Structure 1
Amino acid sequence: MNNIGVIDVGGTTIKFAVWDGQQLVDHTSRKTPATLDEFYTVLTDEVRKMKAAHQIKGVGISSPGAVNKKTGVIEGASALPYIHNFKIQPELETRFDLKVSIENDANCAALAELADGAGKGAESLIFLVVGTGVGGSVILNHKIWHGAHLFGGEFGYALSSDTNTLSELGTAVRVAQRYNQKLGTQKTGKEVFDLAKQGDAAAQNEVQTMYWALAKAAYNLQYSFDPEKIVLGGAVSNNPDLIPNIEKNIEAIRKQVKIASIKPDVVACKYTDQANLRGAVADFEQTYGQ
């Protein structure tokens, strides 16, 4: 029996599905509860249905926060304060009467790309998630590298200039903020990108700042971890101009640093909505074996 129940815990919605050994089936979702007791009720309810319909052997969970795999505690903070800083994994195992694995959502997305996405066939990759800020994951020898303080993959904290972090320079959200502050407008990131294409010099400057920041991050990560691939995720990965412009800026860096012989292999992610669920499968299989 290869059936695994999977859950993606989000701030507004919790997604559920079953992995039947080949694909995700029986998708459903519930509004994220406001309390821990309601959270337990919703999850236990859905897992009971999975057990009845699919005889699942366990449950893999994608969660916000810094998941400590050794203790079963979700450390750090998120929009759901009630899931943090106690041994939630054994509690869920008791309630489900099943094995449970829990992993951070960005790490799950990275594992999905490694399993059969943009990173398929690789042993190592960096996953950059570009959203409101920049996060991500480091995978070495098929395993998540969590780091000594569970901060592995928190690339947004890295300085991208003398005064600004990657999260401050490398996202479409910040592109719009900088543009609006300078011109007194209320444009969205997409609108600023469209303006840049139309020749708006201020928009072009802010968009180029983002491309340069992401290119510098990819270059530095290549020479820090030497991954086979650097996978970009987040809504911005749907922009067809993203990868070509990052590659163009990487080439500019390589011309500046003449000893840089390796060109980072930067690719867009394959998975979007199902990434965390698919990655929860991979994490469960790594934790307990297939």
Structure 2
Amino acid sequence: MKTYMVFDIGGTYIKYAVMNDQALKLESGKIPTPKEGLDVFLQNITEIVTRYAKVFDIQGIALSSPGAVDVKSGFIGGASAIPYIHGVCMTDLLKERTGLEVSIENDANCAALAEGWKGVAKETDYYICVVIGTGIGGSIVMNQTILRGATLHGGEFGYMIMGNPAKDPLQSTWSKLASTNSLVEEVEARKSLAKGTLDGEEVFRLAEDGDPIAKECIVHLYKKLAVGIYNLKYALDPQKILIGGGISKRKEVIEGINHELKQLKDEISTLDISVEACQFDNDANLIGALFHFLKRDAGSGPASHV
């Protein structure tokens, strides 16, 4: 049976799995992301591949990575919590060490591809994925293909300016106004708490316990998210709009955003706009990275099933 070694590179952990061509995990695990630098990182990846290659017929390596990934060259631009992965040709480095073909894709794009292959966007030709976390990112997918843009910034929805452009516009981006991080900071400020006192889970827990400030700030978050999603719908007009990130697992978040979207209608703005949660959580990047690897090879495996 043909199998693939798949890695999801994160700031804290590197998750990995041996998967078949339908994304069934045969083995999996995780290791702390090395702090020492690139050499240790490459050594750790190589050791994992070598170990499983003794047991499985490994056909190649699929990577999910943060940063502005150039899938053609294998270089990772931009910035992330792992500075040493940037500015090198990661695919070539790993191919030299393992002798296997290597593919790489941005982590948010992997999550979106996973939804098109096996998730809620299956059989959907054109959709976008909005990932809400410390900031807001995302992906645009059309006909199984990520729309990357001229500078690999396609889907970077968090850069949209949502506030008053005449007053410090770069402090009013969607990421700064409507991310999970912005929600936490607003609650901390209004409750006169030190920065870093709360996290997103604690804010929602406060709201569930009836805290009026937390409840009000969460409603404000839904409104700000709805406005950005409204803009994306009218600018891009996708068939589906998916919400990812940890916050999307809360049913009340999807319901709250959809409630606010219903308010954004009048005799001119007549579209029925709604969002739905991504299906996959922890495995999304692994599944999407595998799909990206398989799709590179014309006529291989599941590419036609998206």
- Whether TM-score is above 0.5 comes out as yes
Partner of 2:47 in structure 1?
45
- How much does 1:31 deviate? 1.6
Per-residue deviation at 1:173?
A: 2.6
Q: Distance in 2 between matches of 1:243 and 1:220?
A: 17
Matches within 5 A, 1:200-239: 200-239=211-250
Q: Residue 56 of structure 1 aligns to a residue in which SS?
A: strand
Aligned to 1:180: 188
For residues 76 and 166 of structure 1, the distance between their equivalents in structure 2, rounded to whole angstroms, comes to: 19
- For 2:225 and 2:219, the matched residues in 1 are separated by 10
The residue type paired with residue 175 of structure 2 is: S
User: CA shift at 1:200, angstroms?
Assistant: 4.3
Larger deviation, residues 273-282 vs 118-127: 118-127
Stretches of structure 1 that go unaligned for 5 or more consecutive residues are none
Task: Name the CA distance, whole Å, in 1 between partners of 2:58 and 2:5.
Answer: 6
Q: Distance in 2 between matches of 1:190 and 1:79?
A: 22
Aligned residues: 288
Q: Displacement of 1:227 after TM fit?
A: 1.2
Aligned residues of 1:67 and 1:73 also touching (Cα < 8 A) = yes
Q: Is the 8 A contact 1:229 1:264 kept in 2?
A: no
CA contact (8 A) 2:9 2:66 kept: yes
C-alpha separation in 2, matches of 1:198 and 1:15: 35
Q: Distance in 2 between matches of 1:57 and 1:198?
A: 51
| Contact 1:24 1:278 (C-alpha < 8 Å) held by counterparts | no
Q: 107-116 or 203-212: which moved more?
A: 203-212
Structural mapping, 1:127-138, within 5 Å: 127-138=129-140
Q: CA deviation at 1:207?
A: 1.2
Counterpart pick for 2:262 among 251, 262, 267:
251
1:194 Cα offset (Å): 4.1
Q: Are 1:72 and 1:89, in contact at CA under 8 Å, matched by a contact in 2?
A: yes
Percent identity of equivalent pairs: 39
Query: For residue 275 of structure 1, what is the amino acid of its counterpart?
Result: A
Residues 122 and 251 (structure 1 numbering): CA distance in 2 closer, same or farther, change over 3 Å?
Answer: same
Partner of 1:157: 159
Q: 1:47-83 CA distances to partner (integer Å, 9 max, x unpaired)?
A: 1123221111111100111111222211111111111
Q: CA deviation at 1:97?
A: 0.7
2:135·2:180 contact (CA, 8 Å) conserved in 1? no
Cα offset for 1:179? 1.8
Match for 2:139: what amino acid?
S
How far the C-alpha of 1:41 sits from its partner, in A, is 0.8
Amino acid at match of 1:241: E
Partner residue, 1:63: 65
8 Å Cα contact 1:16/1:27 also seen in 2: yes
Aligned equivalents of 1:100, 1:261: Cα separation in 2 = 46
Per-residue CA distance 1:136-164 (angstroms, 9 max, x = gap): 11111110111111111111111122242
SS of the aligned residue for 2:44 comes to: helix
Find out whether 1:240 has 2:240 as its counterpart.
no
2:26 match: 25
Q: Could you say if the C-alpha distance between residues 281 and 206 of structure 1 is closer, same or farther in structure 2, counting changes exceeding 3 Å?
A: same
1:206 maps to a residue whose letter is C
What SS class does the counterpart of residue 229 from structure 2 fall into? helix
Answering whether residue 280 of structure 2 is matched by residue 271 of structure 1, we say yes
Distance in structure 2 (CA, Å) of the matches to 1:14 and 1:172: 23
Q: Which amino acid aligns with 2:6?
A: V
* Structure 1: distance between partners of 2:210 and 2:74: 52
Question: How well do the aligned residues superpose, as a CA RMSD in angstroms?
Answer: 1.7
Shift of 1:13: 1.1
1:222–1:92 distance in 2 versus 1, CA, 3 Å: same
